[in-house]
Homo-oligomer: A and B are copies of this chain.
Amino acid sequence: MTGQGEPSRPAARRPAVVRPLPIAVDTMGGDHAPGEIIEGAVDAVREHGVRVVLVGQAPRIQRELDRHGFAGKIPIVHAEEALDMGEGALASWRKPKSSIAIACHLIKQGRASALVSAGSTAGVVATSRLRLKGQQGVMRPAIAVALPTTPRPTILLDAGASVDVKPEGLVQFAALGTAYAQILLGVERPTVGLLTIGSEPGKGNKVTKRAHELLSGGSHGIEFAGNVEGHDLLRGVVNVVVTDGFTGNVALKTMEGTVRTAFAEIRTAMTASTPARFGALLQRRRLQELRDRLDPDTYGGGVLLGLNGTVVIAHGASHARAIASACELAHRLASGRIVERIREQVAATRTSRFGRWTHGERDAQDKDRNSRPAERPGEAPKSPEPPREIPAPAAEHAPPDRTEPPAAG
């Protein structure tokens, strides 16, 4: 029974037999927590054979597991506090014992391979950035979402984790996206497009123009396919679309709003006359399926890439089904050794970028990573600190491969 096993025993002392680490599921985040979350985790165990560990109010979880007849079959780790859906970044400091913080702790201890949470994106991102720390060499993390293109999804990143990004940051996002696409889409060399406002290299703002230069440089292990525009997002012209977290978030929410408006208007149009209403009856199911496929609220959620651990952020409105597939996704990414792949991809971009640094940029990047808001946007710091190497904040706490299944290491 995959649900069994002792996640409390550290990875080091595990038997040689390969047993993938469980997925830590935050049972306290999300509009329908903990009921739907736990049900989803149970489904993941039952249907996908994923190992999970449930983090949250132990008694409540116990009751739910009884209800599903899974008492004692899924390990539980108690957590006192929960981040409210309304809470943002600050909560990550205020609540060191939140279910998300505990789940991150399990990953750092090598007792879990990944985290699944339907909590507020801001809270999940802030807490996991604080607890898991950024991967060595990764300037800033990015949220990758899968756009519902056919035949296979298109990966868009960043969907909102890092809003003020330098050109080198976008190049790194391309590396993160490449590693993610290799696992999610099973493509060996995924094509990467840069989201901007024209197909020609010269089109875009200062950051994207420079990023285009860097990406066109080659020798960074990225299959750069050039610029893409807003109307290409759902056309599936590339495997990965790279943009900063601000633009990506605006684009994603614009898509969401447009789909809703379109289908709301269609409903109206279709029921405006008796024959039309009759026609609508014949199509309601099909259209509902279609809306579900296109509406990020349904397919939504994303993966936070670039930290020392895999973090799957399910949509706040997630029901059991969405949680189950989030667990399955987290399992796939962990088994695919996403963190290691990212380290390799980013290393490739860094060597190719070597020598391109300027002090101003380094300082700006450090400022960005520590997310100290600048007094004046777009300005170099008043008193530039001496340039220094990009630090590896988390290297000593938790080397990336610690978060992978031991067999993989």
Counting contact residues on chain A (CB < 8 A from B), the size range is: 35 or more
Contacts of A361 in B (CB 8 A): 376, 378-379
Given contacts A256-B231, A262-B263, A294-B261, contact A250 B195 (CB under 8 A): yes
A251 beta carbon closer than 8 Å to chain B: yes
Partner of A250, one of B166, B197, B206: B197
Digit string of A307-350 for contact with B (CB within 8 Å is 1, else 0)? 00000000000000000000000000000000000000000000
User: Copies of this chain, how many?
Assistant: 2
Given contacts A269-B287, A360-B376, contact A230 B246 (CB under 8 A): no
Digit string of A201-241 for contact with B (CB within 8 Å is 1, else 0)? 00011111110000000000000000001111111000000
A262 to B167 Cα, complex, angstroms: 33
CB distance from A361 to the nearest CB of B (A): 7
Closest to A252 in B: B230
Instruction: Give chain A's interface secondary structure class.
Output: helix
A-B pairs with beta carbons under 8 Å apart, 9 shown: A163-B197, A196-B246, A206-B377, A230-B249, A247-B247, A262-B290, A265-B294, A361-B378, A379-B380
Task: Please give the residue numbers on chain A whose beta carbons come within 8 Å of chain B beta carbons, in ascending order.
Answer: 88, 160, 163-164, 166-167, 195-197, 200, 204-210, 229-235, 243-247, 249-263, 265-266, 269-270, 272-273, 275-276, 278-283, 286-287, 289-290, 293-294, 358, 360-361, 364, 373-374, 376-380
